Structure 1
């Protein structure tokens, strides 16, 4: 009896930017195969809820933290629903996954957990100095993932 071939697991990192939207589009048109398990992954950034000067930092206002968290969760949920519909227009059925923490680390960890065969990400095209100073999610993924990475550069 022949061994059953495992379906590819492809993580597509999205954040709502034109760069990640381009990566999703490129994946759908050039990489996706019928039996792929495609997973849209986004990272929820709660750090803005604790930014100095943000309303949630005001003493005596604990509800503001809860509201800030809920706002970020809704934003990511809306994004995933929108991009799920966009993928379906290309004939790609996707699962969605929200993770928290540092985006690069969370994506690499999810790729390992899901035994991904491919990570697809966009690239903002930061210069060497800006990338060194600010960091880059795609750069982090490239250098820390044991999963092959496809970086789609959009001009």
Structure 2
């Protein structure tokens, strides 16, 4: 019987690292594989007409950071002997996480939370709240430690 495919949302924050560690320590079983989902959300606020060269430089710098981050994740999986891959996506994080989970046939998702209070979560929104309420599969939310 083939193992499960577990999705873990990662963004470089301490909360997502905590969720990844929790997955490895508590949920991972031999035969499972993992899809690490990284969503880049590019927000370019335009107060003054943008300089194309400046935007290109910003995008290139962001791409280099993401490549370094996801490359490190791939190496970590290899070192730990966990089969899996990193999927990079762009867009609204909650929607993109759910889309990747569907496309990759993920059986459950693991993600961290920023631990926002009710007021801030209502005001700012929460990726984990969105995924929890819109996902087609079980979602494990790992609280901040």
Task: Give the TM-score normalised by structure 1.
Answer: 0.85
Q: Distance in 1 between matches of 2:26 and 2:75?
A: 18
Deviation string 1:118-155 (CA, Å, 9 cap, x unpaired) is 11100111111101110111111000001111111123
Match of 2:129 among 123, 133, 139: 139
- Whichever of the two has the greater Rg, that structure is 1
Correspondences of 1:5-154 after superposition (within 5 Å)? 5-47=1-43, 50-53=44-47, 57-58=49-50, 61-154=51-144
Answer whether contact 1:24 1:87 (CA < 8 A) is retained: no
Q: Distance in 1 between matches of 2:90 and 2:141?
A: 21
Unaligned runs of 5+ in 1: none
Root-mean-square deviation (Å): 1.7
Answer whether contact 1:42 1:98 (CA < 8 A) is retained: yes
Q: Distance in 1 between matches of 2:27 and 2:80?
A: 12
Count of residues in Structure 1 that have an aligned counterpart in Structure 2: 145
Answer whether contact 1:10 1:117 (CA < 8 A) is retained: yes
Answer whether contact 1:27 1:120 (CA < 8 A) is retained: yes
Unaligned runs of 5+ in 2: none
Which stretch shifts more, 13-22 or 64-73?
64-73
Deviation string 1:21-40 (CA, Å, 9 cap, x unpaired) is 01001101111112112011
* Aligned-pair CA distance for 1:76: 1.5
Task: Give the TM-score normalised by structure 2.
Answer: 0.90
Q: Flag as ranges the 4+ runs of structure 1 deviating above 4 A.
A: none
Q: State the secondary structure of the residue aligned to 2:85.
A: strand
